Structure 1
Amino acid sequence: MSLSPEQLEAGLARRLAPAYLIAGDEPLLTQECADAVRRRARQDGFSEREVHYVERGFDWNALAGSLSSMSLFASRRLVELRFRTPGAGEGGTDLFARLAQSPPDDVVLLGMAPKMDRRQQQSAWVQAFVGGGVLVEARPVEPPALPAWIEARLRRAGLRADAEAVRLLAERVEGNLLAAHQEIEKLRLLYDQGDLDAERVRAAVADSARYDIFKLADAALAGDLGRALRILAGLRAEGLAIPQVLWPLVREIRSLVRLRWFLDEGMSAQAAMAKAGVWRNRAGMVQRAVARHDAAALRALARKAALVDRVAKGDLPGNALRLPPGLGGVRTTALADGWLELSELVIQLAGPVRRAA
């Protein structure tokens, strides 16, 4: 069985399964899911807790012997397995398969592993582990879903927030759910059972957003220019070099150039995206991006990317940034030289097609 973190509490209310595997790199959700399993286990009398760290050379035979023996105090045990990597090897697969066939009455397994892709989730050891248990994927909350997630958390904390306050809070904690949790706790202490507006959030909440270069490319492809420029400013503030930020944008531009060529040759959208190597879960975003740009505009983007690279390396001087109307509030004033050129590239990629007069 597979559950989301939001579904886990309801699942635990129904019954305590013999095994839970929580996989993901989102610390807040991973910790909250593990704590929920621990609470239910304690309620059901699993008062003893063991923790094992699974890494190269782990002794699965010793663990099997421990699980088959009675606890020193004849109590029921929660046995936690902390996986360093998304793998358990043949020894772990065999042990989990036996436990799934005949789970011990006095043991509940709680596994915690890094993020797994679909192939890793289908591996023999994962299938054996959750054969009679539950897989919980602690995925990051994506930007479109973040405001609703924050609003639900605020309600749980007894706070009421207007739409602008929620939007501002989401903007300041994007990519950092642990910071979101901490800021909501702070707001609860400051304005217990109160109403929140943007001014209160602005005064109380620090900017703790975390961005990465791939989110920048996704925001530009999606046409979300304001968010793309915020991410760009955040990446520069974190000390990233322009070539690091540039390469995923170049990769996406090259993909769009190929896709546009296939489409202009009369190929169907589905066939063109398959031939261009576009992943299925990104198809909608990429299709919207290529619809905004014709072949000439995409070639201009490729030339602009080459220019950014040369400016960043000092081969050419940079130009002043030209922001589209309505984006004066985006934090770009601190950008200079190659970063200004890179900002223009992001603006052009996120914006509509620009045809020559």
Structure 2
Amino acid sequence: MRLQAEKLKSHLSNSLLPAYLVSGDELLLVQECCDAIRRTCRDNDILEHDILEVDRYFDWNQLLEAGQNLSLFGDRKLIELRLGGAKMDQKSSAALQQYLELSDGSNILLISCERMDKRSMSSKWVKAVDEIGGVIQVWPVERRHLGGWINQRLKENGLSADREACELLADRVEGNLLAANQEIQKLKVLLGEQHINAEMVARAVSSNARYDIFKLIDAALAGKSGDALTMYHSLIAEGNEEIAMLGAISRELRNLYQCAWQIEQGNGIERVLDNARVWDNRKALYKAALRRFNSQRLTTLLKKATHIDAAQKGQSPDSPGLLFSELVLEFSS
């Protein structure tokens, strides 16, 4: 069946089909559709998760074997087939159709790929998915609808904004939904749950700003200590609120700690990052950081963040600025 992306959550609350195809170029919306399907699988005690990345050397027998092999405990499992921009030829199409023919619905197949043209959407393997599962085409949000989309996202994050503020934010992100979502998260950190007007957006969201806290975090994850420290001192010089900055860094450290702990329990890194809802374009940064940090070292960083919080509130004689510089340096080392 054909499913609309915006109605997927409603569908999943009532049923879970044996196969899903999510196609589109809007990375944020594709990721969220896939996240919703993964989350529904977990809610239905489908905890085993196989991830198959398709490239030019991919052996399609892996898909058939994944469908036939029982999970670790003989339970149902989610098989995720990531096509990306790979083109389906006769051999790969036949293998996928064979998997679907043999499927008894015990396992769930999630296929994700870039936007498909009309001809590809009429191919035999897509029709086979359509017959037993759900096909979701993710469409870009048109500029005339972007302000409304941003307004809805703000509401979902406990924020409200007037129309002028939403349109201003839409202009700043230039149709980039990932950037829009990041700016909404930034507004939540900087402004809290309050009504937002255009003037507040103009102050908080600077499309031409040289640095922001999120770029600092990305530099720290990548291990670029020089860049991270430069950004930190520039943000302070520009008058950015250190309490809000510490909150953003602490959240990232907590998420990183949970990932490190899960990996140390024997879970695969891809599964851990998917469960932590790390976007595909940030996975390389997380992997770089997780090669440097284990859960014990991250616990030390989180304790330092707590110490900084106390210093910022006057509950410690130490200099919060000096401690913050040390945290940035240790996080990015």
Residue type at the aligned position of 1:155: K
AA partner of residue 11 (structure 1): H
CA distance in 2, matches of 1:2, 1:86: 22
| Equivalence for 1:196 | 196
Bigger shift: residues 53-62 or 75-84: 53-62
> Aligned partner of 1:37: which letter?
I
**CA deviations over 1:172-197 (Å, ceiling 9, x no partner):** 11221011011111112223221111
The answer for the alignment partner of 1:80 in structure 2 is: 80
Provide the rounded CA distance (Å) in 1 between the counterparts of 2:51 and 2:109. Answer: 10
Report SS of the residue matched to 2:13. Answer: helix
Comparing both structures, which one devotes a greater share of its residues to helix?
2
Per the TM alignment, residue 24 of structure 1 is displaced from its structure 2 partner at its CA by: 1.1
Q: Give me the whole-angstrom Cα distance separating, in 2, the residues matched to 1:121 and 1:108.
A: 21
Aligned residue in 1 for 2:41: 41
**Is this contact kept in 1: 2:23–2:137, CA < 8 A?**
yes
Specify the alignment match of 1:256 in structure 2. Answer: none
- Render the CA deviation track for 1:76-127: whole Å, top value 9, x for unaligned: 2111111133533233333433444453343100111011111111112222
The gaps in structure 2 that reach 5 residues or longer are 209-333
1:23 and 2:18 correspond: no
1:248-268 CA deviation, whole Å, 9 max, x = no partner?
A: xxxxxxxxxxxxxxxxxxxxx
Identity level (%): 41
CA distance in 2, matches of 1:104, 1:95: 16
Aligned to 1:125: 125
1:61 alignment counterpart: 61
**Structure 1 Cα separation of the partners of residues 69 and 149 of structure 2:** 43
1:17 aligns to what SS in structure 2? coil
Aligned equivalents of 1:134, 1:206: Cα separation in 2: 40
1:7 aligns with: 7
Kept after mapping to 2: 8 A contact 1:87/1:125: no
Which SS does the other structure have where 1:72 is aligned?
A: coil
Q: Distance in 2 between matches of 1:141 and 1:196?
A: 22
In the other structure, the counterpart of 2:215 is none
User: Displacement of 1:22 after TM fit?
Assistant: 0.9
Q: Which residue is equivalent to 1:354?
A: none
Instruction: Tell whether the 8 Å contact from 1:89 to 1:125 is kept in structure 2 after alignment.
Output: no
Rounded Cα–Cα distance in structure 1 between residues aligned with 2:91 and 2:71: 23
Contact in 2 for aligned 1:86/1:116 (Cα 8 Å): no
Distance 2:110 2:101 in 1: 17
Match of 2:71 in 1: 71
RMSD between aligned residues: 1.8
| Amino acid in structure 1 at the alignment position of 2:161 | A
Aligned to 2:52: 52
Q: How many matched pairs?
A: 208
Q: CA separation in 2, counterparts of 1:152 and 1:106? A: 36
**Partner in structure 1 of residue 207 of structure 2:** 207
Report the AA paired with residue 54 of structure 1: V
The structure with the larger Rg is 1
- Partner of 1:80, secondary structure, is strand
Does structure 1 retain, via aligned residues, the 8 Å contact 2:67–2:103? Answer: no
Counterpart secondary structure, 1:115: coil
- Superposed, 1:62-211 pairs within 5 Å as 62-85=62-85, 87-207=87-207
Give the counterpart letter for 2:159 in structure 1: L
Query: How big is the shift at 1:165?
Result: 0.6
CA distance in structure 1 between the aligned counterparts of 2:129 and 2:96, rounded to whole angstroms: 5
Name the SS of the counterpart of 2:131 in structure 1: coil
User: Aligned letter for 1:126?
Assistant: V
2: CA distance, partners of 1:21 / 1:156: 26
Q: Which amino acid aligns with 2:179?
A: A
Change (3 A) 1:194 1:39: same
Check conservation: 1:88, 1:125, Cα contact below 8 A: no
- Higher RCO structure, 1 or 2 (CA under 8 Å, sep 6+): 2
Q: Look up the SS of the partner of 1:36 in the other structure.
A: helix
Distance in structure 1 (CA, Å) of the matches to 2:161 and 2:66: 51
Say if 1:51 and 1:80, in contact at 8 Å, map to a contact too: yes
User: 1:299-310 residue pairs with structure 2 within 5 A?
Assistant: none
Aligned pairs for 1:308-347 (under 5 A) are none
Query: For structure 1, which runs of at least 5 residues remain unmatched after alignment?
Result: 209-357
Distance 1:32 1:147, change over 3 A: same
1:203–1:123 CA distance, 2 compared to 1 (3 A): same
